[in-house]
Amino acid sequence: MFAGLSVFGFFFLIIILFQIFKILDEYERGVVYTLGRYTGIKGPGLIILIPFVQRMHKVDMRVRTIDVPSQDVISKDNVSVKVNAVIYFRVIDPNLAINQVADFMRATSELAQTTLRSVLGKHDLDEMLSERDKLSKDIRELLDDQTDTWGIKVSNVELKHIDLDDSMKRAMARQAEAERERRARVISAQGERQAADQLVEAADKLGSSENAMQLRYLSSFQDVTNDKTNTIILPLPLDLLTKFVGK
């Protein structure tokens, strides 16, 4: 009988020790309650609690991530897209994170979904595709402001994917092709205009100087004579013919 009591006392002592001594890692904090009332935050390290009077709730202070599920968003120009994102946040006040919200992980996730739809719905599709950094910053600031009362700090928001339906992808492909064709035509027209301007300028310079015209004539004649397969017919100067006719 006494042996049974001693074994029971040993296990009871072990249970009491586990209730008294708690160890928290460097990234953990303990929200302590005494008879149900919040009495402070402890940790990290060895924590001593009064058995059956005090209890503690552990809180992880490291940065956490939440994958925001794909959300159906209607853009400002009435285009339906699916957008998902990832949220980076951490607890900065364990007291608020435990006592002000029942489940801060779920609450932050739900708030991120509604905020994502609200912010992106105010922008056109082109802005969603070209200004992701700006939109991510706007979402982060709005989330951080709303979660401040929960002791949560949202450090970053990243838009991962913006998915379009097949018909919109085909329309955007046609638009991009038309834009490329327009740019090619503009560049071609600019090149032709510049070439015409250069030709006019060259013609003006040659016409303004007889010596320049003769030099150009000789240069062309030399280019032709380099090819031995060509038959060259030299024009007879008109002033020479005039002299013979006059006689």
Cα separation of 219 and 202, whole Å?
A: 15
Cα separation of 32 and 56, whole Å?
A: 4
53 with 111, same domain?
no
Q: What is the CATH number of the domain that holds 154?
A: 3.30.479.30
Q: Are 91 and 132 in contact (CB under 8 A)?
A: no
Last residue of a domain, one of 169, 194, 229: 169
- Tell me the torsion sign for CA atoms 171, 172, 173, 178: positive
Cα separation of 143 and 157, whole Å?
A: 9
213 within domain boundaries? no
191 within domain boundaries? no
44 with 131, same domain?
no
56 with 68, same domain?
no
Per-residue pLDDT of the chain (247 residues; tens, 9 = 90+): 445 557 666 676 777 777 788 889 999 999 999 999 999 999 899 999 988 889 999 999 999 999 998 888 888 888 888 899 999 999 999 999 999 999 999 999 999 999 999 999 898 888 888 888 899 999 999 999 999 999 999 999 999 888 877 655 555 556 666 666 777 777 877 887 887 777 667 666 656 665 555 556 556 655 656 666 666 565 655 554 454 455 4
Statement: the pTM of the whole predicted model exceeds 0.95: no
Query: Can you point out the beta strands (E) in the chain?
Result: 21-24, 28-34, 37-42, 45-48, 54-60, 64-74, 80-91, 152-163
42 within domain boundaries? yes
51 with 117, same domain?
no
What is the SS3 assignment for 143?
helix
49 with 81, same domain?
no
Residues 6+ apart with CB under 8 A from 222: none
> What total of structural domains would you count in the chain?
2
Q: Which domain holds residue 84?
A: 64-169
80 with 108, same domain?
yes
